[in-house]
Amino acid sequence: MIDRRALLSQSSLLLAASALPGAAAAQARKGAAARALPPFYADIEYRTFRWFWETARRDNGLVPDRYPSPSFCSIASVGFALTAYPIGVERGWITRAEARDLTLTTLRFFWEAPQGPEPTGRIGHKGAFYHFIDMITGARFRDVELSSVDTALLLMGVLFAGQYYDRADAKEREIRALAHKLYARTDWNFFRADGRKAVSMGWHPERGLIPSNWTGYNEGMCVYLLGLGGPEHPLPADSWDVWTSTYPRSWRGEGPTRRLAFAPLFPLHYSHIWIDFRGIRDAAMREAGFDYFENNRRETLANHAYCVANPMRWDGYGAQSWGLAACDGPGNFRLDFKGEHREFFGYSARGPIDEPDGRDDGTITPSASLGSLPFAPEIVIPTAQALRRDHGDLLYGKYGFYDAFNPSFRWTDKQLEKGRVDPVKGWYDTDYIGIDQGPILLQAANYRSDFVWKRMQACAPIRKGLKLAGFTGGWLG
């Protein structure tokens, strides 16, 4: 049985022991001075970049949700891809002209594809876009929602493209113009058209707005910042207060471990890939006495500490084998493990069971740890090296790390949802997922040179959204 009191005690001790800033962590907080990564990390970055570059369609710029399994397009994956291409330019992997042309194709497609309230044949409505769309036509995939947060992730990539392609030639001027038009067209208030104060997670033509709202602390942060900065359909001025109103239920820890918690790590990555929260604070962080970057460092350390404590006694957890977030899994099973009935899942969000939305079935995703590189490099870099060394080709392939693995799942007679089972080492995914590839590549670029952050610091909508949310200090001043 799981002793929750022992879990809280052991995890708190581990977290407190690691929460004091070390040399690597202190360096990560600094400005644009280059930060070195070991030579092996460059291969991770290159392979991960190739995933975006080689899976994107050249006729419309759409990027699959996953590969090599047949897949629809994830609009969030497109946002990551638009940010990834300039990294390839700067690293010498592709030319600027190649990146520019594919970016322009992508933005033209999203601008020109039909929108409207009809349930089929449309890419979106009110300037927002459906979560998943057909890879060829761009039309809504099945009955998925018009997604506020995935629209925001797409637009983050669109706005980044508008910042990066700053030259005077006609194609780069068109990229900048389309980036502005796509962002300005988005009607953020459509997601609160029924009178609610918060932003709905989405809308279905058949049923209307989804009852659930984006309130913090999770990946919805970028929805409010972009919504506040919108030039034509901005959110009301008090929207950030609505977002932070649920913070009290998310606080965990005391002293150096106090933090806004959310069990899966991916929400800590998404908005923070494009926005540099070092040294800037809103009212909630001014009261807390630290910034969101420090908050994410503490939450990364908490995820690590939980896996080291390993209260559910999963195989393979440890100081260099950790990272719980949303990812693939072996499938939905209820099986006997070490004398207990345990549940396993397919694609699902995962995280420490003592935090909001916690779920733990022994599945680890490299994106959770590597996406946290800027926050805690002293534990992420050794983890990346160990994952490559200890799992070899089972976990690391043509496009870098496969999405997930589970050392405890060794059943070879089950009908898996995804992946394969090694009878000794456990279950391994055989797919890459775009929204998990993105944090690995883009956060490495931020760690090396603030690559994404420093360009987005000059992005007028980002600056406007942050200021309207009450952020002050640091580079925003």
pLDDT digits (tens, 9 = 90+) for 67-111: 999 999 999 999 999 999 999 999 999 999 999 999 999 999 999
Give the DSSP H or E segment for 422. Answer: strand 420-422
Q: What is the pLDDT of residues 154-212, one digit of tens each?
A: 999 999 999 999 999 999 999 999 999 999 999 999 999 999 999 999 999 999 999 99
Please give the Cα distance from 66 to 435 (Å, whole number). 9
Show the tokens assigned to 332: 């939905």
Give CA torsion, residues 14, 390, 327, 256, to 10 deg.
20
Residue 201 tokens, joined: 């997670």
Cβ neighbours around 289 below 10 Å, total: 9
Residues in the chain: 477
Residue type, 72: F
Q: Are 278 and 474 in contact (CB under 8 A)?
A: yes
First to last CA, the chain: 52
Q: Where are the beta strands (DSSP E) in 230-369?
A: 251-252, 259-260, 333-337, 340-344
In sequence order, the 6+-apart residues with CB closer than 8 A to the CB of 279 are 291, 293, 473, 474, 475
pLDDT tens for the 477 residues of the chain, in order: 444 444 544 555 455 555 555 555 566 666 656 789 999 999 999 999 999 999 999 999 999 999 999 999 999 999 999 999 999 999 999 999 999 999 999 999 999 999 999 999 999 999 999 999 999 999 999 999 999 999 999 999 999 999 999 999 999 999 999 999 999 999 999 999 999 999 999 999 999 999 999 998 999 999 999 999 999 999 999 999 999 999 999 999 999 999 999 999 999 899 999 999 999 999 999 999 999 999 999 999 999 999 999 999 999 999 999 999 999 999 999 999 999 999 999 999 999 998 988 999 999 999 999 999 999 999 999 999 999 999 999 999 999 999 999 999 999 999 999 999 999 999 999 999 999 999 999 999 999 999 999 999 999 999 999 999 999 999 998
User: What global pTM score does this model have?
Assistant: 0.96
Q: Return the number of other C-beta atoms located less than 10 Å from residue 118's C-beta.
A: 12
Question: Long-range contacts: 231-239, Cβ < 8 Å, 24+?
Answer: 231/183, 231/184, 231/461, 232/184, 232/185, 232/187, 233/127, 233/186, 233/187, 233/188, 233/189, 233/190, 234/188, 235/188, 235/189, 235/192, 235/199, 236/197, 237/468, 238/197, 239/197, 239/198, 239/199
**What CATH number does domain 4-476 carry, 1.50.10.140, 2.40.30.130, 3.40.50.720, 3.50.50.100?**
1.50.10.140
- The full set of domain ranges for the chain reads 4-476
> How far is Cα 223 from Cα 153, in angstroms, rounded to an integer?
8
Instruction: Count CB atoms within 10 A of the CB of residue 211.
Output: 10
